A and B are shown apart, each in its own frame.
Chain A
Amino acid sequence: AAGVIQSPRHLIKEKRETATLKCYPISRHDTVYWYQQGPGQDPQFLISFYEKMQSDKGSIPDRFSAQQFSDYHSELNMSSLELGDSALYFCASSYDRSEQYFGPGTRLTVT
């Protein structure tokens, strides 16, 4: 079965620009999570969606927003990018409150 898909895999943006990251969960998974991982750090939870509704919110900056669409894919929108936003962004999905499976990540570089 296909795993979690994320696009793009790499993204380079300048300060103050915007970025949109996309996540396609595993088929029939009902929950999507977004995590941010800085170099040498553990993944930090940003936000999650259950059945297309926001279910939990972590340390997501106000400059970021996210949504889940009717086909269950999710997008993370990031505005007014800062140098400190450079990180790996992972999406994970799960079914029925069970194991979370991570996508390959999007490496965002802000210059």
Chain B
Amino acid sequence: GENVEQHPSTLSVQEGDSAVIKCTYSDSASNYFPWYKQELGKRPQLIIDIRSNVGEKKDQRIAVTLNKTAKHFSLHITETQPEDSAVYFCAATLSGYALNFGKGTSLLVTP
């Protein structure tokens, strides 16, 4: 089955700095890579996703890159704000199937 590894497990940045979270996956059949933000006790919230036919996608301060050859994808958050503080999960799957999550990255943005 699919195995997703996520690094780092914790990340602390100053407000206004950039944050990068990296994930690798094992199953070359995976073609859908979403990122979720989860605040304590709340639901995972989809913030951005990318499909295997695209190398990069951007939405305002958030961007995701995908390297299919190396089987890794990354989340980039620019101009971080305190409200970006949360746990971020990457996931990989074949479209329509269950999400295989990474272990999560706890991001802390300090003012």
Contact = CB atoms under 8 A, between A and B. Distances in A.
Given A31-B96, A42-B89, A94-B96, A101 B101 contact: no
Contacts of B41: 88, 107
Contacts of A107: 41
Question: Is chain B's binding surface mostly helix, strand, loop or mixed?
Answer: loop
A50 B103 CA distance: 27
Question: Is chain A's binding surface mostly helix, strand, loop or mixed?
Answer: strand
The contact size tier of chain A is 20 to 34
B32 to A, nearest CB: 8
Interface of A: 31, 33, 35, 41-45, 48, 50, 56, 58, 88, 90, 92, 94, 97-105, 107
8 contacts: A35-B99, A42-B103, A45-B98, A90-B44, A92-B99, A102-B46, A105-B43, A107-B41
